[in-house]
Homo-oligomer: A and B are copies of this chain.
Amino acid sequence: MTTLHYTGVAHNFNSGPSVLPREVFEQASQAILDFNNSGLSILEIGHRTSLFQEVMDEAVALLKELMKLDNEHEVLFLHGGASTQFFQIPMNLLDEKETAAYMDCGTWGTKAIKEAKLFGNVDVVASSKDKSYTYIPKGFTIPSSAKYFHYTSNNTIEGTQMHAIPETNVPLVADMSSDILSTSVDFNRFSLIYAGAQKNIGAAGVNVVVVKKDILGKVSRKLPTMMDYRNHIENGSMLNTPPVFAVYVCMLTLRWLKQQGGIPEMERLNEAKAKLLYATLDSLPVFRPKVAKEDRSKMNVVWVMDDVELEKKFLAECKNNGMVGIKGHRTVGGFRASLYNALPIESAIALSDVMKDFARKHG
| Residue positions of A touching B, CB distance < 8 A | 2, 4-10, 12, 14-20, 24-26, 28-30, 32-34, 39-41, 43-47, 79-84, 86-87, 91, 111, 114-115, 118, 196, 198, 203-206, 222, 224-227, 239-246, 249, 322, 324-325
Contact B47 A204 (CB under 8 A): yes
Name the B residues within 8 Å of A83 (CB-CB). 225-226, 239-240
Copies of this chain assembled into the complex: 2
Query: How long is the Cα–Cα vector from A249 to B32 in the complex, in angstroms?
Result: 11
Query: How long is the Cα–Cα vector from A242 to B246 in the complex, in angstroms?
Result: 12
Given contacts A204-B244, A205-B244, contact A224 B115 (CB under 8 A): yes
Name the B residues within 8 Å of A203 (CB-CB). 43, 244-245
Shortest distance in angstroms between A237's beta carbon and chain B's nearest beta carbon? 12
Shortest distance in angstroms between A81's beta carbon and chain B's nearest beta carbon? 5
Given contacts A32-B25, A240-B81, A240-B83, contact A245 B205 (CB under 8 A): yes
Name the B residues within 8 Å of A10 (CB-CB). 39-40
Query: How long is the Cα–Cα vector from A83 to B80 in the complex, in angstroms?
Result: 12
Shortest distance in angstroms between A194's beta carbon and chain B's nearest beta carbon? 13
Shortest distance in angstroms between A91's beta carbon and chain B's nearest beta carbon? 8
Contact B226 A86 (CB under 8 A): yes
Contact A204 B4 (CB under 8 A): no
Query: How long is the Cα–Cα vector from A254 to B40 in the complex, in angstroms?
Result: 21
19 A/B residue pairs, CB under 8 Å, sorted by A: A4-B33, A5-B33, A6-B34, A12-B44, A14-B45, A17-B47, A19-B44, A20-B41, A29-B33, A32-B32, A47-B204, A79-B81, A80-B84, A82-B240, A203-B245, A204-B241, A204-B242, A245-B246, A246-B246
